[in-house]
Structure 1
Amino acid sequence: MKLFHMNSLLNNICLFEILHDWSIISVSGTDSKQYLHNQTTVNVCDLKNNFHILCANCNPNGRVQGILRLFLHQDKYFYIQRSCIVESQIQNFKKYAIFSDVCFQNLNDYVFIGLMGCNIKKKLSFIFSELPDSTQSMKYIKNFFILFFIDPVERFLLIIKKKQLNKMIEIFLKNNFLQVSSYWLFLDLQAGFPILENNMINNFFPNEMNLNIFHGIDFQKGCYCGQEVISKLYHKNINNKNMYHLIGTTSFEAINKLPMIEMYSKKQWKKVGKILCFLHIQDNIFFIQCILKNKNIVNNFRLSTDYNSNFFITNNL
């Protein structure tokens, strides 16, 4: 993957990508609204139909167990998240659901397609009868969902039944879409959306994962799991970690071990953070999403598995 090539395609052509790392879960039952309200970092009672919102659910100590993109359709809730944490996520939810009428179901018969690129909204308007936008960020049309994203560019997430996939691919190819890979993750990282994989569950507070930037934490709502710790961190301003993005050079073998991030300060290397996600850009260049201690930051980093690696903080690609 070449960075210049990726940006060039995004600026000149419409692209589609089949996303294998995401799942959709339905939440039903008479207690589903109140239950989700008591388990997530946002005010679910205020969530309107046809809108999606980024949020988290946490353990009693305030550590994030899952990052969810939650939405409501016809009085039924759905959320999407990384497939690798779905089962553990559902089990964590069920721990507190013994006396509640709420049911979580992993909808395995759905598949995700990311849609992006030059004039993507105009091009899709010739394929779909209606599209979501900033006024209604989710639409349900003929048995499939479409979600609208504005960060870092306008793009759409299509969630369809697996049996519809081949027909949909054929439609996109006939309309001169180019099939790509890793572009959706590239844009998610550019937007600053936190990517939580299974190995980082119960490690970080939602404040540290920058969820407040995306209105993913409601500090005014009532009690929810982990709320006391999360609110204390916020109101006393004692949050000592933040999410950062680094770019630099290393080998795939070194970074694939998900090593610690080290920072050079006062003539020595110190371990200051952990990797959430990484993306290979080109040659030996990698883009890293990580959580670092935010005190006395020196913009000089390396991986603990590669002393010759060299990374620095970047705000864009």
Structure 2
Amino acid sequence: MSNDHASLFAPFLEQVSHASLADRHQSAMSLLTDRGFLSVSGPDSQRFLQGQLSNNLDRLEPAQHHLSTACTPKGRMYSAFRLLHSENGFLLSMHKGLLDATQTTLGKYAVFFKSEQTIDTSLVALGLSGSNIKGTLQTLFGNTPEDASAMQVEESVWLLAVPGSCERYELWLPADQLPTWWNKLKQNFLPVSQSHWRLLDIEAVIPELLPEAAEQYIPQHLNLPTLNAVSFRKGCYTGQEIVARMQNLGQLKSRCYHLTTDSAVELPPNTKLTNTAGKTIGEVLYAVTPTDANQTELLAVIRVEAAETSDVQLPDNDINFTVAPLPYNIDAKAELQR
């Protein structure tokens, strides 16, 4: 089966609504069409990944998951993903555009380990979200996972609790079971596009690494230590020295923020942003324009001083941006103890 599952997704995408500000916390089901999976298995898989990934796999119990990253020797992220300790090893869920490079790069370090990295084209993902969906899910699944845990619903079907400004879960399932689960879930969840899920990521400032940003940022630029994706006490991994040095020195000048502009404007990834003096102060990660509002919501990596004064605009344009306060506290010293 093709990794993009285009023909499989087509009939479901005909049923979806697009992102809406007014209804963003309704009970909704998003088909995560750009999600792909990398499976890492074998007796040395945990030891191998411990030397490559930014989080501490020694603390990741079976049926638990974390955000994590894989970095170049210079500390730049070539991949970022949600990592699940599954029954057969580890599953890495990421933007499908990162799969090939992630598999190839990890493979360069795998030669001394009994470990295999395989792009798993059999899996797809749904995002389930809403203000009060736990009871509905408990009725459907018999229970729900909490915090950074996952629940194996049946063979190869996982329900993961993920953070957000409303209750959110991801359902990972075999592609051939998508029609069955879709029809079951749509009795309680409105089918919506992936832009709805991305709008929730923007609201919660939980950034996804897109292929356009590969090798541009260190984990701190995307606030990933705060989101428990980086351990500073685990020891060495590729890129660790650069990442740890930046955290220890406390000299990071740019971070990821939620921005809003009162115009419906197209903002592709890497669109440059400036201050009123015309100086480039950052770039767009990705943006969503809700269907019911004349505005655009986005995540961007920008200079901290520009964020603090909301001094952000498009170059050669009169469009200005408002920067929302981060919904979580960043404490670099406390993060060093993880």
Q: Do the structures match in fold with TM over 0.5?
A: yes
Q: Name stretches of at least 5 consecutive residues in structure 1 with no aligned partner.
A: none
CA distance in 1, matches of 2:222, 2:269: 21
In the alignment, what sits opposite 1:5?
22
Match for residue 271 of structure 1?
280
Deviation at 1:212, TM superposition (A): 1.1
Aligned length: 306
Residue number in structure 2 paired with 1:178 = 190
Equivalent of 1:286 in 296, 304, 308? 296
In 1: Cα distance, 2:184 partner to 2:75 partner: 45
Residues 257, 24 of structure 1: alpha-carbon distance in 2 compared, 3 angstrom cutoff: closer
Question: Is residue 245 of structure 1 aligned with residue 254 of structure 2?
Answer: no
Q: Aligned to 2:273, which of 255, 258, 261?
A: 261
* Aligned-residue CA RMSD (Å): 2.0
Residues in 2 aligned to 1:219 and 1:47: alpha-carbon distance in whole angstroms: 15
Q: 1:2 to 1:186 in 2, by over 3 A?
A: closer
3-state SS of 2:318 partner: strand
Question: Distance between the aligned counterparts of 1:242 and 1:129, measured in 2?
Answer: 40
CA shift, 1:251, in A, is 5.2
Structure 1 segment 21-36 matched on structure 2, within 5 A: 21-36=34-49
What's the TM-score once normalised by structure 2's chain length? Answer: 0.84
| Contact 1:278–1:288 (Cα < 8 Å) also in 2 | yes
User: 2:70 is matched with which residue?
Assistant: 57
**2:313 equivalent to 1:313:** no
Q: Give the TM-score normalised by structure 1.
A: 0.90
Q: Look up the SS of the partner of 2:54 in the other structure.
A: coil
How many angstroms does 1:207 deviate by?
Answer: 1.4
1:198-245: CA deviation from partner (whole Å, max 9, x where unpaired): 111111111121011112111112111111111111111121211111
2:112 aligned with 1:99, yes or no? yes
The whole-number CA distance in structure 1 between the counterparts of 2:253 and 2:279 is: 16
Gaps of 5+ in 2: 1-17, 328-338
**Alpha-carbon deviations, 1:72-116, whole Å to 9, x = none?**
123511111111111111111112112222111111111111112
Q: Residues 219 and 141 of structure 1: is their aligned pair in 2 closer, same or farther, counting only changes over 3 Å?
A: same
Q: Within 5 Å, which residues of 2 pair with 1:93-132?
A: 93-132=106-145
8 A Cα contact 2:269 2:286, kept in partner? no
Question: Could you tell me which residue of structure 2 aligns to residue 166 of structure 1?
Answer: 179
For 1:62-211, list aligned pairs within 5 A: 62-74=75-87, 76-134=89-147, 137-143=149-155, 144-173=157-186, 175-181=187-193, 182-211=195-224
CA distance in 1, matches of 2:129, 2:305: 37
Give the secondary structure class of the aligned counterpart of 2:158. strand
Identity, in percent, stands at 25
Question: Aligned partners of 1:257, 1:130: CA distance in 2, in Å?
Answer: 38
- Structure 2 contact 131–167 (Cα < 8 Å) conserved: no
Question: Hey, what's the Cα distance between the residues in 2 that align with 1:2 and 1:76?
Answer: 35
Code of the aligned partner of 1:300: D
